[in-house]
Chains A and B, each alone.
Chain A
Amino acid sequence: MIELKDVSKTFTLHNQGSAVIEVISNVSFAVAPGECVALTGASGAGKSTLMRMIYGNYLTQAGEIRIGGLDIVRSEPRDIIKLRRDVLGYVSQFLRVVPRVPTLDVVAEPLRALGVPAGDAQDRASALLTQLNIPERLWPLSPTTFSGGEQQRVNIARGFAHTYPAMLLDEPTASLDAANREVVLSLIEDAKARGAAIIGIFHDAAARARVCDREIDVSRFTPGMAA
């Protein structure tokens, strides 16, 4: 479902003496439907960078990244937008929303973008928010004023609203208590069971051991960091 072939990335900082920083070189791996792969490595090894490259958020200088057949390294913006709407979900560490939009609508939005009627999308959003223990009295409020853990849970609800065939999860269990961590892990297990291909970053070793089938040490691909 997700396939990387000889992928490399450099950052060129034009305004800082045109410094060229090699961050990732020659990564190749594949993730099959129903499989969850963990990216590991020390902080700064390039886990999030690699994940952002797979999402098309960072440009990839060399190689191929195929998701459901589409090579996002060489795709037009509109094809990537369509891929993100239908196929590829991403739960980032931070919630980014239009201010003043109610939480329920924030969570329902990915479904609304797919053309799901408002009522059905809100039903699904309500179910997820309930499951993630966001009290109903908060649903009409914008999540911008919520606590860190609440925002993270809203972000996860939004990320799981649509049943994407491929998902990227950046620290989905960070800043969650035991009960909510359990809910998130079961959401991931459900997604795997329905055949989603998942790539995740988990600092929580127990969570990683439970949901991930394989680990890929990103520092192997980081120039200057490999031993």
Chain B
Amino acid sequence: MTPLLSVQGITKRYGAHIGCADVSFDLYPGEVMGIVGESGSGKSTLLNCMAGHLTPDAGQVVFDTRTDGPRDTITMSEPERRMLGRTDWAFVHQHARDGLRMGVSAGGNVGERLMAVGERHYGDIRAKATDWLGRVEIDASRVDDRPTTFSGGMQQRLQIARNLVTGPRLVFMDEPTGGLDVSVQARLLDLLRGLVRDMGLSAIIVTHDLAVVRLLADRLMVMKSGRVVEAGLTDQVLDDPQHAYSQLLVSSVLQV
């Protein structure tokens, strides 16, 4: 089986400071990988390098495209990479405001991505948008309301609907449940798990919440100071961590 995403030797420096260094892994279709580490460990830098938001100083991000098979997305042309970003890739930002158009209605936010891939029939776009609002548990009566009138949890769910409406194969998530209250988090986790299973999505989730990765991720990478210090099955890394830093991370979680 060809990996959906093959990351090799990704390195990003901010001047003399290391963002992330020499990160390599393969992600297969249907897999969910978590990346954990304290803030400043390079998780988000790595995610942004993979998603094409930052240009790494070294390394390859090879994605198995639908038409041409595996291609290095770092050396491909900007329009090609943008097309990937609208079709096969999705990016869920930590702050929903970064991923939404706040001045456009909820339905418009979902519809925009559809129009970007060529849909033109208003009725179809609206019907799909309404269907997706339902899937992320936003009442259809809110389709014409702007996200500014939504709660934080609703905005996050709207962002997810906007991202998944075009049926991507790979979703990048940066702290998708950060800053949400725990009851909303639980609902979002359940939603994400259902979508991953039913749509066969692969996902890379950056978070510092170990409970979130335990429930969502099959595999886990632990980062410290820009480097991967440990990687493996999620429950193995959490229950039997090998590296000193992973042990510290796991033993630092407060029991509820």
User: Do B247 and A15 touch (CB < 8 A)?
Assistant: yes
Cβ of B251 within 8 Å of any chain A Cβ, yes or no, is yes
Per-residue interface assignment for chain A, residues 50 to 93, with 1 indicating a CB less than 8 Å from any chain B CB and 0 otherwise = 00100011110000000000000000011011000000000000
Determine the distance from Cα of A101 to Cα of B193 in the docked complex, in whole angstroms: 11
Determine the distance from Cα of A15 to Cα of B247 in the docked complex, in whole angstroms: 7
List the B side residues contacting A99 at CB < 8 Å. 186, 189-190
| A100-B247 contact given A58-B236, A81-B218, A113-B197, CB 8 Å threshold | no
The closest CB in chain A to the CB of B234 belongs to A77
User: Do B240 and A98 touch (CB < 8 A)?
Assistant: no
Interface residues of B in 148-170 (CB under 8 A from A): none
Number of A-B contacts (CB under 8 A): 55
User: Do A77 and B219 touch (CB < 8 A)?
Assistant: yes
Interface residues on B, range: 20 to 34
Q: How far is the CB of B137 from chain A (nearest CB, A)?
A: 11
The closest CB in chain A to the CB of B244 belongs to A14
Determine the distance from Cα of A52 to Cα of B187 in the docked complex, in whole angstroms: 30
Cβ of B235 within 8 Å of any chain A Cβ, yes or no, is yes
Determine the distance from Cα of A176 to Cα of B37 in the docked complex, in whole angstroms: 40
Cβ of B239 within 8 Å of any chain A Cβ, yes or no, is yes
Per-residue interface assignment for chain A, residues 95 to 120, with 1 indicating a CB less than 8 Å from any chain B CB and 0 otherwise = 01011110000000000110000000
| A59-B236 contact given A14-B243, A15-B244, A112-B197, CB 8 Å threshold | yes
User: Do A52 and B190 touch (CB < 8 A)?
Assistant: no
Determine the distance from Cα of A41 to Cα of B127 in the docked complex, in whole angstroms: 62
User: Do A15 and B248 touch (CB < 8 A)?
Assistant: yes
Cβ of A178 within 8 Å of any chain B Cβ, yes or no, is no
B: residues with CB less than 8 A from A are 28, 31, 183, 186-187, 189-190, 193, 197, 214-215, 218-219, 232-233, 235-236, 239-240, 242-244, 247-248, 251
